[in-house]
Structure 1
Amino acid sequence: MEDILEQRSPMSSPDVVTNETNGFDQGATVGYDYEFIPTLDNKYMCPICLLALRDPVQTSCGHRFCHLCILRCIRNQARCPVDQIPLSSKQLFQDRSAHREVLDLKVKCSNDGCDVVLELRHMQKHHDICPFLQVPCKYYCGVTFALSESHFHYESQCTHRPVRCSVCQQTYPLNAAMAHEEDCKQHEPVECEHCKHKFKRYRLNQHISGECPQAPIKCVFDNVGCHKQHPRHHIEEHMKKSTQVHLQYLLSTVTALQKQSNTLQESLMKAQENFKTFNVISSQSAPLSQVPPSTKILDLDELSCTITNINLYDSDSEIHHDTSPATEVDEKDEFDEIALIKASHKQLEERYGRSASSSSSVASSPVVLPNTFNTTDVCTCKAAAGLKVLQNKHTDHDEKIVSLDHHVRELVAKMENQVLQMKDINTKLSAVEQRLEQQELRCCNGLYYWKIKEYAKLRRAATIGDMPVLHSPGFYTSPQGYRMCIRANLDGVENAQGTHLSLFVHIMKGEYDDFLTWPFYGTITLTIINQRELPSQRMNISETLEARSNLMAFQRPTTERNQKGYGYIDFYPLRMLETNGFTKNNTLVIKAQVRVYENPVK
């Protein structure tokens, strides 16, 4: 009885079958609700719904009910609702006489403003074409109007009615006229300034950047000196003729780089020599008076530096002897000391110039250290000790740098090991995800929903030619069935380019092709899912194609995917696709439902 309740009554006459697609008497679950002329006699009224009998049945106790009304009633309580006598579905009998009598009754049209009176059996046909029938706009502008006013509404009033552009010949809703004007400019024919050929504006940049033979492009040796621009079809000839010139440009560039490298190397060597000289001076721990003249000869600058160093350390009352590795030597302070040494050079010349020589060449000649410096031995030892402290600090810093370098190397090694482990985990995870995806595609049983995300971005890419074709993942008609995919051209193809969405189906190689019947026999239904918020406003667009055995598209594939596909060039207008609720959250959903014929249809 459960199955019977979910189906239409088997006694429904073809004359009174309701049309569920247009909303007339939708569901057919109760009696006929009309204004009867004359008033409905009680003998034709269902005691349960109090309406005219629909598909009347008579009980064993002599009462009449609508077929579905009494079935629902005895499902809850197996008794007659009039006299409470026990009753079952097997005790119901068709009352064909009452059925004909009810259909012969006169009823008035239920539409406001319509005075037509007809027999009940003819009222449905009249209702479908009644001029006073209130219908919603098929373009979803939100207006409801009488059927007689539909022509006027669609021609003059509807703000969503489609209009055709006189420039690009595309169809778009009237309320999107301003947006279309901006987009239409991309379809205007413009002339290439280089080759003088005409193209649509949206293809002009692509033509100039990659196709135009007259477009000027830079030479590949532009970075080394060849700054001339040449037409694209002459660039190869330029490369052949200018080989020597390009080599000269390269030679000049390499030479300049070598000079720069040599200059840097010389500067580095001078810096190293100055550093070595400073170390030699700072490492002299013996008194200056005890150094043999034959082994210790300094020029005036070196002598000045040494004596100034002594004076500096002698005059400094606080010499830091902390040799702890934690104490850092400020290199800036060392440079300041060297600057002070040079600044005191003039004072040294005035103090010791008279005793060294009376001629003008004393300043440039080597000077032997005199014995008059015996009184400064103590100061010299202090200076040498201070320099020794600095050297110890540098040594400690070097050891600390080496230790940190080893630590960094260990951390880098650990990090590289972890990166390798992460790559291995990601690889395994990707393999698992692919297996799950393949399992879903295999078990979809020919019903597959393809979500095209970032639709606006892909649509623009298709418009400029960067991504004209999209293919869905390959899905199976059954776990061991045929494998196929959907192909979508978001900007259309051939005559429908720029105006319609093109959809095709391609047969793909599968694991069980050896056991399947070829060519493929069956039907494929392609549907664009409407994603409006209210279910009552959703209107999916579907087209069904039937496989043809003589077409290459349905033969067994010899490559991963058959080159030939089968489908619709102008499946649906692009403008209506983007404005009628088919995209939501920038996503377009396409459904494919495949039915395979077990026995080929001849």
Structure 2
Amino acid sequence: MATYNSQNFDQPEENCLVEDDTQVPEARFECPICLTWLRDPVLTSCGHRFCRKCIYSWLEKDTDCPVDKTKLNKDTDIFPDNFTRREISQQKTKCPNVVRGCLKELSPLDIEYHLQICKYRIPELPDNEKLRCNFVAVGCIEKFENEVEVKEHLEKNIHNHLNLLSQAYSKFIIDQSTSSNALAQQANFWDPPAKIGSNGLVDEHVNSSNESLIKSLYEKIIILEQKTREQDIIIANMSEQISSCNLLISTVPTKFCFGSFLWPVADFKTKITRMSNNSHMMCYSPGFQTSPFGYKLCIRLNLSPKNPNYLAIFIHMMKTDHDNSLDWPFNGKISITVVHPVNLEQNIKETMMTRPELEAFKKPKQELNPRGFGYTEFALIQDLCSEGFVDKDQLLIKVHVQPV
């Protein structure tokens, strides 16, 4: 016969290692304005993250949030986001010079400084051999070592280049009489270009149709840039909505199971092996509820501390948003069944009544009540494996909770 008791435990540490060699930030670490890693991140009152410099620059021209158009006051609605700052600082990415032998892994925000001192970097070229920005004709004086740097510069300086185009355009004399014939002017776009003088500048007698064409093209660039930014914001909002829907769908089976929860424990033998190597390791089920606004519980598996040949099964109370509307301590009947996949008559079932005086059934003060209630020696692990309870390395455990 299985025995049960109330037991305290230390929640195991979860280790999740994901290798990612790219420098593209996750959506939650990306500034919706500059579309790069958040630098000095801040959080708005409407729940969106931006670079401090980006959002303050934005609010100097517009008082609406760039994402959802909520009115923002830069003095009262912007808050430092130190949690995200720490998360970004913990992200590690490999130095771009890894192909040349650099094995450094740094925070994405430290990469820029590291590249200046990395001993594996490509030596700087003389000024006369460096690449020039594509917008050098309108005043951009930046020089680069390779095409990658040119591409990054173009992506990060769209607004600066548009300003340079605007300044260059303002130097031309616009003939208003030709503005009504924009389509005809575009048809003349392929006419021979104006002659270049000996000083390298365009002749003063520039064809007025080309001037109007430049204006028309510049305005189209602005419109396309605005539409692109609007589409990016719409896509980001739709992604958030889809994520919310997926989260809701995933919680429906456990929220509306009415206290009858079936937990398929996958990779059972692997979990048992890991528990044997680490006595502090435990396995937890997803949380399930007795009703949509009822009590929330979960199942815990670990090896028996008395005899590691036995499997221990415990039940833990979990915290919900509506705990204040429930009666505490929890009082009811709990049945635990290890299901045989072929012969239901071989099912191992134990039923227990709660004991309200125990800490395990009092209102949780944290996400998971640290005290559990259940069976320290529910079943022999060898019997579960030899008698067919473990099918395709999966063990089925059913729990039925009936509040009183």
**Do they fold alike, i.e. is TM over 0.5?**
no
Higher RCO (Cα < 8 Å, 6 or more apart) = 2
Give the TM-score of the pair, scaled to structure 1.
0.29
Decide which structure has greater helix share: 1
